[in-house]
Amino acid sequence: MSSITITELAERCGVAVSTVSRAMNERTGISPRTRERILQVARETGYVPNAAAKNLKISSTRTVAVVFQGWTSELSNHILGVVRDQLADAGLDLHPVHVSDQDANTATIIRLTTERRLAGLVFLGRFGNKLVPDDPSLADYLAGVGIPVVFCTAMGLLDGAPSVSVDDKSGAAELTRHLLALGHRRIAFGPASAGFSLESDHAWALRYQGYRDALAHAGIAPEDGWLIPSADPEDIYTMENGYASVHAWLAGGEVPHGVTAIVTTCDAAALGALRAAHDRGLTVPGDVSVTGFDGLDFGRYCVPSVTTVVQPTEEIARETSRYLVRAITEGRQEFSPLSIRGELLVGESTAAVPAPPDANRRARTRPGGLP
């Protein structure tokens, strides 16, 4: 029989009980120094772990599933890593679940939660068919699933469901105000899909609302031609779609409708837009300014670098983890949807509104009309 309990061992080491469990079971989520210190105290006190009880606690009821649909991204990979570390510190295991677009449905979630005992469930990013309304059967199932559920980087399927994301509306509004401050008054937005309601909770629609709010505050009503249609309504947030959408919109070889700037839905779309402008013989920001959204690394190293709003991924991940840990360990599930403001990062893709051609000609003309 052990001379001390696991709780007493944790107290002597100044760590959580879950940290002792991880050290004794040679699991990840603990530093080598802390592991060695715990093992040393265990040897000195004669502590012997109850392997069966320990494994049951960690592997069956201490697992959090993180569901992500489609391809992962730089943003989602960073959040996943931080969430994994934060959960490990609390003695929780992370089980990543990749779901294809065709399998993003209620049946998949039912199978996941019934075939494996879970302590919590995270939806990382969007989930479901992007061209139809949110599945009410999934919302009904999640409401009674009996474990904490949190939506990360996306609004929840349930009214008032715990969710942690960037403040899409305020971010897009700040980008638009940046362009307004540079003198732009005819500002386009896109790519945008007709398959969504402009009042929906999808990220691009929230960003569109922020763009419109900033224009309205400046006394500007956007014209119909300022909304750039998405070439692929199923993949709005890609370089390919950004390129195809903007390239088609610039079909005349010049920026239509007198537009001088574009607020794109994300950094990937912005990169596609940069290439589309180049292939149409236009320069950025000389002929048109372009903004992104997300703050991904590639936007800093392309030429020109992209003006964007940087998502607070570290804070988003930590708040997601904090909710889960409190809900699982303390049973506290009171949590309102949380939107965290991003940070404006000004790159080289935006500049003051270009002067009209006739103004440039007048500036080069000497008094008396002589060149």
Check residue 294 and give its pLDDT. 95
pLDDT in tens, 286-321: 999 999 999 999 999 999 999 999 999 999 999 999
Strands 343-345 and 308-310: antiparallel
Say yes or no to pLDDT of 161 above 80. Answer: no
Q: What is the average pLDDT score of the chain?
A: 83
pLDDT in tens, 171-191: 999 999 999 999 999 999 999
Say yes or no to pLDDT of 359 above 70. Answer: no
pLDDT in tens, 20-61: 767 776 666 688 888 888 888 887 887 765 433 343 344 447
Check residue 173 and give its pLDDT. 98
Fold observed for domain 168-310+345-360: Rossmann fold (3.40.50)
List the domain boundaries for the chain: 6-56, 60-153+313-340, 168-310+345-360
What confidence category does residue 364 fall into, taking pLDDT thresholds of 50, 70 and 90? very low
pLDDT in tens, 200-215: 677 888 999 999 999 9
Say yes or no to pLDDT of 198 above 80. Answer: no
CATH architecture of 60-153+313-340: 3-Layer(aba) Sandwich (3.40)
Q: 6-56 and 168-310+345-360 share one CATH topology?
A: no
CATH class assigned to 6-56 = mainly alpha
Count the helix, strand and coil residues of the chain and give each as a percent rounded to the nearest 5: 45, 15, 40
Rg, the chain, Cα only: 26
pTM (predicted TM-score): 0.76
Residue 300 has which token pair? 């800093």
Q: Could you please report the per-residue DSSP string of 85-146?
A: HHHHHTT-EEEEEEE-GGG-SHHHHHHHHHHS--SEEEEES--S-TTS---HHHHHHHHTSS
Cα(302)–Cα(349) distance, integer angstroms = 10
What confidence category does residue 164 fall into, taking pLDDT thresholds of 50, 70 and 90? very high
Say yes or no to pLDDT of 361 above 70. Answer: no
